[in-house]
Chain A
Amino acid sequence: MIPVFFGMTALVFFLSNMTPGSPIDAMITPEMNVEDIAILEHKMGLDQPIYIQYFKWLGRLFQGDLGNSYRTGQPVIRAIAERVGPTLILTLTVLVLAILVGVFLGVVAACKPYSFWDTLASGLSFLGSSMPGFFVALILIYVFAVKLGWLPTGGMYTNANTHSFGDFSKHLILPVVSMALASAGNYIRQTRSAMLEVMGEEYVKMARAKGMREQVVLYVHALRNAMLPIVTCIGMSVPGLVGGAVIIEQIFGWPGMGSLMVLSVTYRDYPVIMGITMYITIAVLLTNLAMDFVYAVLDPRIRN
Chain B
Amino acid sequence: MKTEKNNKTRNVFIKDAVGRFVRHKVAMVSLCILVFEILVIVFLPLIIKLDPYSSYPGQFGVAPGGQFIFGTDDVGRDVFARIIYGGRVSLSVGFISAIISACIGVPLGLLAGFYRGVIRGIIMRLVDIFMSFPALVIQLVLVMVLGASERTLTLVLGLLGWTSYTRLVYSKVLSVKEEIYVEAAKSTGATDFTQMVKYILPNSLAPVFVTFSFAVAGNILAESGLSFLGLGVQLPTPTWGNMIRDAQTVSTLMYRPWMWIPAGVVLVITVVCINFVGDGLRAALDPKIKI
**Residues in A lying within 8 Å of B, measured CB to CB:** 3-4, 7-8, 11-12, 15-16, 18-20, 126-127, 129-135, 138-139, 141-142, 146, 153, 193, 236, 239-240, 242-244, 246-247, 250-251, 261-262, 265-266, 268, 273, 276-277, 280-281, 284-285, 288
Contacts and interface: CB of A to CB of B under 8 A. Distances in A.
Contacts of B290: 193
Contacts of A243: 134-137
A4 B261 CA distance: 40
Interface string B76-94: 0000000000000000000
A138 B268 CA distance: 13
A247 B138 CA distance: 14
Of the listed residues B253, B276, B279, the one surrounded by the most CB atoms of chain A closer than 10 A to its CB is B253
6 contacts: A16-B144, A19-B144, A130-B271, A153-B250, A277-B137, A277-B141
Given A142-B253, A239-B135, A284-B133, A131 B268 contact: yes
A8 B129 contact: yes
Interface string B110-139: 000000000000000100110111111110
A247 B224 CA distance: 11
A268 B253 contact: no
A18 B129 contact: no
A153 to B, nearest CB: 8
Interface residues of B, number: 45
B145 A138 contact: no
Interface stretch (B100-108, B170-178, B225-233): B225-233
Given A133-B225, A138-B244, A284-B134, 19 more contacts: A12-B137, A12-B141, A15-B145, A130-B221, A130-B275, A132-B225, A142-B253, A146-B254, A240-B134, A246-B136, A247-B136, A247-B228, A261-B140, A262-B231, A273-B144, A277-B141, A280-B133, A280-B137, A284-B133
Contacts of B261: 139
Contacts of A250: 229
A262 B229 contact: yes
Contacts of B140: 246, 261-262, 265
B19 interface: no
A254 to B, nearest CB: 14
Contacts of A130: 217, 221, 268, 271-272, 275
B245 to A, nearest CB: 9
A56 to B, nearest CB: 20
A280 B132 contact: no
A239 B253 contact: no
Contact of A242 (B134, B144, B147): B134
Of the listed residues B217, B221, B250, the one surrounded by the most CB atoms of chain A closer than 10 A to its CB is B221
A247 B225 contact: yes
Given A19-B144, A236-B131, A284-B132, A134 B225 contact: yes
A129 B275 contact: yes
B247 interface: yes
B260 interface: yes
A65 B148 CA distance: 31
Contact of A135 (B138, B229, B268): B268
A99 B141 CA distance: 30
A288 B132 CA distance: 8
